[in-house]
Chain A
Amino acid sequence: MDDLAAAFGQAASLLLGFDAELIEIIGLSLRVSFMAVGLAALLGLPLGAAVALYRFPGRTLLGALLNAFMGLPPVVVGLVVYLMLSRAGPLGALGLLFTPGAMILAQCLLVLPIVAALSAQIVADLNEEYNEQLHSFAAGPLQRLATLVWDGRFSLMTAILAGFGRAIAEVGAVMIVGGNIAHSTRVMTTAIALETSKGNLALALGLGIVLIALALAVNFAALALRDAARPRYG
Chain B
Amino acid sequence: MVKRRSFVAGVFLAAAVAFPSLAAERSIVVASTTSTENSGLFGSILPVFEAASGIRVKVVAVGTGQAIKLAKNGDADVLFVHHRPSEEIFVAEGYGVKRFEVMYNDFVLVGPKSDPAGVRGMTDAPAALARIAAAKATFASRGDDSGTHKKELGLWQAAKVDAVAASGQWYRETGSGMGATLNTAAGLGAYALADRGTWISFANKGDLEIMVEGDKRMFNPYGAILVNPAKHKHVKAAEGQAFIDWLVSDAGQKAIADYQLGGLQLFFPNAKKAGS
Contacts and interface: CB of A to CB of B under 8 A. Distances in A.
Interface of A: 31, 34-35, 38, 42, 86-89, 92, 95, 97-98, 150, 179-182, 184-185, 194, 196-201
A31 B20 CA distance: 10
Given A98-B75, A197-B180, 9 more contacts: A35-B19, A88-B74, A179-B29, A179-B58, A181-B58, A182-B43, A196-B180, A197-B38, A197-B176
B234 interface: yes
B18 A38 contact: yes
Contacts, number: 76
Q: Is the interface of A mostly helix, strand, loop or mixed?
A: loop
A197 B4 CA distance: 47
Interface of B: 4, 11, 14-15, 18-19, 29, 34, 37-38, 42-43, 56, 58-61, 72-75, 176-180, 182-183, 201-205, 232, 234
A38 B183 contact: no
A167 to B, nearest CB: 13
A176 to B, nearest CB: 9
Contacts of A150: 4
A83 B12 CA distance: 29
A210 to B, nearest CB: 19
Nearest to B182: A199
A145 B193 CA distance: 61
B178 A197 contact: yes
Given A98-B29, A179-B58, A199-B205, A86 B180 contact: no
Contact of A197 (B11, B14, B19, B183): B183
A175 to B, nearest CB: 9
A184 B179 CA distance: 22
Nearest to B176: A197
A182 B180 contact: no
20 contacts: A35-B18, A38-B11, A87-B74, A88-B74, A150-B4, A179-B58, A180-B60, A182-B59, A184-B58, A196-B179, A197-B177, A197-B178, A197-B183, A198-B202, A199-B182, A199-B203, A200-B203, A200-B204, A201-B203, A201-B204
B181 to A, nearest CB: 9
Contacts of A184: 56, 58
Contacts of B177: 197
Nearest to A178: B60
A88 B73 contact: yes
A198 B201 contact: yes
A199 B59 CA distance: 20
Q: B15, B73, B205 — which one has the most chain A CB atoms within 10 A of its CB?
A: B73
A182 B56 CA distance: 11
Contacts of A180: 60-61
Contacts of B234: 87, 95
A161 to B, nearest CB: 15
A78 to B, nearest CB: 13
B60 A98 contact: yes
Nearest to A233: B3
B15 A35 contact: yes
